[in-house]
Amino acid sequence: MAGSVAYLSTIMYRMSSNTMASSSSSNQKVAVVTGSSTGIGYETSLILARNGFLTYATMRNLNKSESIESIITKENLPIHIKQLDVTDDTSVKNAVEAISSETGRIDLLVNNAGYGLNGAFEDLAMDEIKAQYETNLFGLIRTTQAVLPIMRRQKSGTVINISSGVGRFGLPGSSAYVSTKFAVEGLSESMSYELEPFGIKVVLVEPGVIKTNFVDGMVIARKSQDPKSPYSQIIQKMVTGLEEMMKNGSSPDLVAKVVLNAAINENPSLRYLAGNDVEQLLESKRMMPDEEFYKMMKQNLMM
């Protein structure tokens, strides 16, 4: 899958090289990407702009925009950086209204902003769980609801939600994070029925382990950091296992290419996997009884 997507990306880049020189074209599609300062959002903003989208790379903290700004200048890319905090109603409203006012349309929304909360379920404080949901789920909801009226008036648009392979199977030590991704899966699938009559498509992109700063940005539950926690050894094994998997993880630009493929497809699929690891795991889950899959995951992550 990755090879064909990369080939398609190269073709589209060549086809759009002339279009990019005129970022103000009335025919140019407008994309909004959340969480664009690093990782998947960063690479997605770049690949969309390189393929002709007028791209709004949004982020909570504009102090983290230096890296993408340097590439914008070097390549003369049609990217505008916009402050947008998905956990803040006013920030979302102001950003979406400003983009709509400047461009008159929004053709693509990529909901990427998110982080991981690690810790045994019993150790998770309610405020930690609420913060996880506020970004990973309610932030996605908040931003999508702000954009949908614009797409509905256009009678067109695509919403791409960056979910995860763990939106379809559980992991020890990640119950809060995993449950947000399960929620995104159900939300997206349900939305797709409602939005299809208005010409709006909904897509889920499900990455596997990706080499980003995800682990560095992971929040460890306060109680799980205490060596006296009854779950401390389980969590430590889980963190060590994740760090090992990250060494063989896919590049974030792989996910960006999958996003591009879905964005330019007139009839995209509801779900796209991104990474050989998640493809293999979900194939195993499909083929194995639940008990066998559970044993396999336990052996790989907790032994």
User: In which residue are the tokens 């903003």 written?
Assistant: 45
- Catalytic positions, please? 177
Q: What angle do CA 184, 143, 30 make, to 5 degrees?
A: 110
Q: What backbone torsions phi and psi does residue 219 show, to the nearest 5 degrees?
A: -95, 130
Digitized pLDDT (tens) for each residue of the chain, 303 residues in all: 444 444 444 444 334 433 333 334 457 999 999 999 999 999 999 999 999 999 999 999 999 999 999 999 999 999 999 999 999 999 999 999 999 999 999 999 999 999 999 999 999 999 999 999 999 999 999 999 999 999 999 999 999 999 999 999 998 899 999 999 999 999 999 999 999 999 999 999 999 998 766 555 678 888 888 888 999 888 887 777 777 777 777 889 999 999 999 999 999 999 999 999 999 999 999 999 999 999 998 887 776
Q: At residue 20, what is the residue type?
A: M
Q: Which residue has the tokens 């890296």?
A: 67
For the chain, give the number of residues. 303
pTM score, two decimals? 0.88
Closest-CA residue to 176 (of 231, 137, 232): 137
Instruction: Report the CATH architecture of 2-302.
Output: 3-Layer(aba) Sandwich (3.40)
Look at residue 227 and give its three-state secondary structure: coil
